C-alpha cells in the first residue's frame, strides 16, 4: 500500500490564494514505486469527476490550480 500526501493551491478570481491538503492510500498491485504512486494520483485527478480536495467551501471562481504531491511511502500489509 502506498500513501501519497498532496496539496492543491487555488488562485481565485478575486486575487486570493487558498491552499488545501489531503492524502490518498493506494492499494493497487499496479503501483510498485513512488513514481507509480504519483502517476496513479495524477491520472485519477485528471480523469476523475471528484477533485483531489474538497472545494465546496470555495465560492469565488477558480482561475487556476496547482498541485504538489509529496511523501510517497510504501506500507506493506500482511
Residue 47 predicted with pLDDT over 90? no
- Alpha-carbon span 40 to 37, nearest angstrom: 5
Q: How much is the pLDDT for 76?
A: 46
> Taking all residues of the chain, what is their mean pLDDT, rounded to a whole number?
84
Number of domains in the chain: 1
Q: Are 8 and 53 in contact (CB under 8 A)?
A: yes
**69: three-class secondary structure by DSSP:** strand
Assigned C-alpha cell, 73? 511511502
The model's pTM is 0.71
Residue 78 domain-assigned (yes or no): no
Q: How much is the pLDDT for 78?
A: 30
- Structural domain including 50 reads 2-73
* 53, 8, 24, 3: CA torsion to nearest 10: -160
Residue 44 domain-assigned (yes or no): yes
- Alpha-carbon span 71 to 34, nearest angstrom: 9
Residue 30 domain-assigned (yes or no): yes
Q: Are 9 and 19 in contact (CB under 8 A)?
A: yes
Residue 49 domain-assigned (yes or no): yes
Amino acid at each position: 500500500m502506498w500513501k501519497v500526501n498532496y496539496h492543491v493551491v487555488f488562485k481565485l478570481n478575486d486575487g486570493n490564494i487558498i491552499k488545501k491538503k489531503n492524502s490518498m492510500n493506494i492499494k493497487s498491485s499496479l503501483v510498485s514505486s513512488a513514481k507509480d504512486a504519483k502517476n496513479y494520483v495524477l491520472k485519477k485527478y485528471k480523469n476523475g469527476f471528484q477533485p483531489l480536495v474538497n472545494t465546496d467551501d470555495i465560492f469565488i471562481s477558480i482561475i487556476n490550480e496547482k498541485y504538489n504531491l509529496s511523501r510517497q511511502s510504501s506500507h506493506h500489509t500482511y
